[in-house]
Amino acid sequence: MKLLKLVPDNTNIGFVAMRKWAFALTALLTVLAVGATAYKGLNMGVDFVGGLMIEAKFPQAVETDKVRSVIGGLNVGESSLQQFGDPKTVQIRLPLPEQGGAGAANAVVEKTRLAMEQQFPGVTFSRYDTVSGKVSGELVQTGVLAVMLAVIGIAIFSWFRYEWQFGVSTFVAIMHDVLMTLGFFAVTQLEFDLNIVAAVLTIVGYSINDKMVIDDRIRENMRKYRKMDMKSLIDLSVNETLPRTVMTSVTILLALGALLLFGGHVLRGFTAAMMLGVVVGTYSSIYVSSSLLISLGLTPAASEKRAAKKSYAGNAERVGPRDDGARP
Amino acid sequence: MLNFSRWAVAAILLPLVIGVLCAVPTFLPEATVAHLPRFMQTRVNLGLDLAGGSHLLLEASTQDVAKQRLTNMEEQVRTELRRQDPRIAIGDISSRDGKLSFMVRDPAQVDAAVERIRPLTQGAGLTGQRDFNVEVVNSSTIVVTPTDAGIANAVKSAMEVATEVIRKRIDEMGTREPTIQQQGDNRIVVQVPGLQDPKALKDLLGQTAKLEFKLVDTTANPAEVAQGRAPVGSEVLPYPGNPSGVPLIAVRRQVMVSGEDLTDATQGFDQNNQAIVNIRFNGSGGRKFGQVTSQNVNKPFAIILDGKVLSAPNINEPILGGSAQVSGSFTVESANQLAIALRSGKLPVALTVVEERTVGPGLGADSIRAGLIASIIAVVAVAAFMFVSYGRFGVYANIAVAINVAVILGVMGMLGATLTLPGIAGFVLTIGTAVDANVLIYERIREERRRGRGVVQAIEFGYKEASRTIFEANVTHAIAGGIMLALGSGPVKGFAIVLLIGIATSVFTAVTFTRLLVARWVRTHRPTEIHI
């Protein structure tokens, strides 16, 4: 049987030669992403801004305008409505009543429920969330803290494990991934809630996984080919790991694609974020973190000094010219 | 590297078999699982977003606790200084800015007053700090300041009582398997799966249930009461159901009987078939109630719940039996709720709902179905892709993934972890990343083959070299997962649990277990060429 190979053997793409263009494109996209986030803002869910979110399921398709007019007559504050998943489901966002605490939020839900049941018999509230301003503030704080800690923790890990250049390049690449994800949410105005923070953290985890594999290979090749110049060495490493990079991205995209199409509407934003993250993370492994190593001045000599100091000589038997093409 | 001793094989297979077995109870009906021995009851709990139910985060106001403590202290100081001989006269009492200050009228008695107040304070914390500081300022004014340690202590004990009271109230409602946990310093998380109507629950939890009986001050001028002013020794309280139309009433400050003297409360009906709550006092409460009612026949008394007057019935005759009726404009449901609240005791501090998440059972079931379908399609797609890419080796990886999924469920069952909707996403993602380890190994084997290594050597090198990379990659991945678990709330946590368990088990199944499979095949078939 002929096995599928997404990347042909002995592929040799000159990634490093293209790095100037790639850096320019990356910088442009990142600036656009940050600009979009700053200008359009994120469509924050109730998790992060506080308020009341009701997901109403109707027996048949409804027009959001009709629902809006029903809620508008209730005097419960300014509502924002959105079709959610399918035409039968509408998500209603309301501000929390300023006074009266828990009971007041209850009253708003009940009032809305009564009015809706009268207008649209058979409607059910399949879920609703109320989050007070205080809690949502804390959720924002811990969310930002979690992402920052993850990025910094991982950068420190790869700095200790390898040279500082790896730490810096990893940090820059992951920040790029996070910013691109934020930009994606700003442009699409998909709801940004707690689940998306989990998605961002997973993107960070996935992206670092990808970079570790390439970094590890760069390290290995630095020990193996001491005389090779850095550009060819990085090209060689990226190309050697390319089949794995592509295979893994495709398998994960397959799994996520199943989740996006069949996993139900609640997880849709989460899955979309993840899929984008996989693409962006893979791109940044090749173009941001690896190519950045050259600009940061990583040389085999620097690595050797450190390796010798740590008596991490590696596999002596592997040091030597590459015996490509030889067959037993 | 390809030789496994009998012991090594057993050591690899045993945990996998245990893991898979632990996953079985999750798929059995609940009734069947209940018959299994204790250690076999390793079911994965479904989170509220899958099972449907309510999640409530309740917060107590620490300021309230501090304020209440100060009021109690004031009361204690008054009685203490009044009680003994010589009586110490004080004035100018104020409890502003969170501290209590008062003036001792006779400067000669200041030291004596301090001596008597000191024993009212208690030790707080391990540092030898007291819960209140007592100081003398301006030679005649005594200031009692609560210490931080004292407030922290008071909040802690109030929260313990509050958690217990809430547990009792929810148990009385007859809901199944609620989770009630204290979180942080002043919060309580309540999770009730499968609850259809969280409104009743919230109403119940929102009640402090401080019940008091006080006499109505009939001497008060109705016009002044309407403006919120009451005679000395009385106070104006809200009375929403006042038949006179004014929603206020003046009552005596002195408490006739309080809810602490209750022994039982049940919902019932009065002679007009109105819903009421029947209450029963303990001995001393019954005596006090009897005494006051005999002295005040034909006068009204007020039934006060959480600072609001429910009703103000007339005392037609002395009530001596130690039981009474609480009337108000109750429905059967609200009367029943009040009875529950009274039975479970009063909350030492008012709680407010700061976060609520409710998922209907219909949506939960939809989510499970969608998650299951997505997982199956993901597994099939990934498995097919692995097979066309790596042939026989792809099948080994697929077996490893299948076992991995079962083991993750088994480990979750053993830990009593909860599967949430994001957890399902974590599952699907784990399926994707678990094969990554195999991809790394197989690509390495392909590479080593291209470099001219023999089959056995290439396989050995593939596993050895890739293992290091896999380890490194998974450590960093686990860092992200660990941070999610530590800092995340709700959905993030549910996702992190599956992710972390998945990282640990997938390294084992994808590396160690497939190596065992590959080694067996290589040893029995001695291939000179491999399709990979």
Least confident residue range of A118-122, B400-404, B408-412? A118-122
Give chain B positions within 8 Å (CB) of A236: none
pLDDT of A281 = 92
Q: Tell me whether B185 touches chain A (CB under 8 Å).
A: no
In what helix (H) or strand (E) does residue B485 lie, and over which residues does it extend? helix B455-487
Q: Say which residues have a Cβ less than 8 Å from residue A156's Cβ, sequence separation at least 6.
A: A167
Q: Which of A4, A142, A261 sits opposite B389 (nearest CB)?
A: A4
How high is the mean pLDDT of chain B?
Answer: 83
pLDDT of B435 = 85
Q: Which of A209, A247, A251 sits opposite B473 (nearest CB)?
A: A209
Q: What are B492-528's pLDDT values in tens digits?
A: 788 888 889 998 898 888 888 999 999 889 888 888 8
A-chain residue closest to B491, CA distance: A195
pLDDT of B2 = 64
**Would you call A194 and B366 a contact, using CB atoms and an 8 Å cutoff?**
no
Give chain B positions within 8 Å (CB) of A289: none
Q: Is the pLDDT reported for residue B298 higher than 80?
A: yes
Q: Tell me whether B396 touches chain A (CB under 8 Å).
A: no
**Would you call B532 and A250 a contact, using CB atoms and an 8 Å cutoff?**
no
| Per-residue pLDDT of chain A in tens (328 residues, 90 and over written 9) | 677 888 887 778 888 888 888 888 899 999 999 999 999 888 888 888 888 888 888 888 888 888 888 888 887 777 888 887 778 888 888 888 766 555 677 778 888 888 888 888 888 888 888 888 888 888 888 888 888 888 888 888 878 877 888 888 888 898 999 999 999 999 998 888 888 888 888 888 888 888 888 888 888 898 888 888 888 888 999 998 999 999 999 998 998 999 899 888 878 888 899 899 999 999 998 888 888 888 887 776 655 555 555 444 444 444 444 444 444 4
Q: Is the pLDDT reported for residue B245 higher than 50?
A: yes
Six-digit token string for B515: 């190596």
What is the DSSP secondary-structure string of B297-329?
TTSBEEEEETTEEEE--B--S---SSEEEEEEE
Q: Tell me whether B199 touches chain A (CB under 8 Å).
A: yes
pLDDT band at B71 (very low <50, low <70, confident <90, very high): confident
Structure-token match 């009032």, residue found? A111
Smallest CA–CA distance, residue B52 to chain A, in Å, is 9
pLDDT of B126 = 61
Q: Is the pLDDT reported for residue B442 higher than 70?
A: yes
pLDDT of A304 = 57
Handedness of CA B225, B231, B237, B239 (dihedral sign): negative
Q: What are B272-286's pLDDT values in tens digits?
A: 888 888 888 888 888
User: Phi/psi of residue B505, each to 5°?
Assistant: -75, -35
Residues 80-139 of B with CB under 8 A from A: none
What whole-number distance in Å separates Cα of residue A150 and Cα of residue B499? Answer: 15
Give chain A positions within 8 Å (CB) of B447: 240
What whole-number distance in Å separates Cα of residue B362 and Cα of residue B394? Answer: 39
pLDDT of A303 = 57
Give chain B positions within 8 Å (CB) of A90: none
Please tell me which of A195-199, B188-192, B251-255 the model is most confident about, judged by mean pLDDT.
Answer: B188-192
pLDDT of A102 = 52
> Predicted ipTM?
0.80
Q: Which of B199, B474, B532 sits opposite A106 (nearest CB)?
A: B199
**Would you call B378 and A103 a contact, using CB atoms and an 8 Å cutoff?**
no
Six-digit token string for A161: 């494990």
Q: Say which residues have a Cβ less than 8 Å from residue B126's Cβ, sequence separation at least 6.
A: none
Q: What is the DSSP letter of B451?
A: T
A-chain residue closest to B205, CA distance: A102
What whole-number distance in Å separates Cα of residue B178 and Cα of residue A119? Answer: 35
Give chain A positions within 8 Å (CB) of B356: 102, 105, 128-131
pTM of the model: 0.75
**Cβ–Cβ pairs < 8 A, chains A and B:** 258
**Would you call B477 and A103 a contact, using CB atoms and an 8 Å cutoff?**
no
* Farthest CA pair distance, chain A: 82
Residues 158-217 of A with CB under 8 A from B: 158, 161, 194-195, 197-198, 201-202, 204-206, 208-209, 212-213, 216-217
pLDDT of A177 = 92
**Would you call A126 and B479 a contact, using CB atoms and an 8 Å cutoff?**
no
Q: What are B39-67's pLDDT values in tens digits?
A: 777 778 888 888 888 888 888 888 888 88
pLDDT band at B336 (very low <50, low <70, confident <90, very high): confident
Answer for the pair A168, A296: CB distance below 8 angstroms, yes or no. Answer: yes
Best CA proximity match to B165, nearest among B122, B209, B100: B209
HSE of A327, CA atoms in CB hemisphere, 13 A:
2
What whole-number distance in Å separates Cα of residue B250 and Cα of residue B256? Answer: 15
Answer for the pair B486, A190: CB distance below 8 angstroms, yes or no. Answer: no
HSE of B171, CA atoms in CB hemisphere, 13 A:
9
**Would you call B354 and A134 a contact, using CB atoms and an 8 Å cutoff?**
yes
Six-digit token string for B202: 């919230």
Q: What are B427-439's pLDDT values in tens digits?
A: 877 877 788 889 9
Six-digit token string for A312: 């991490």
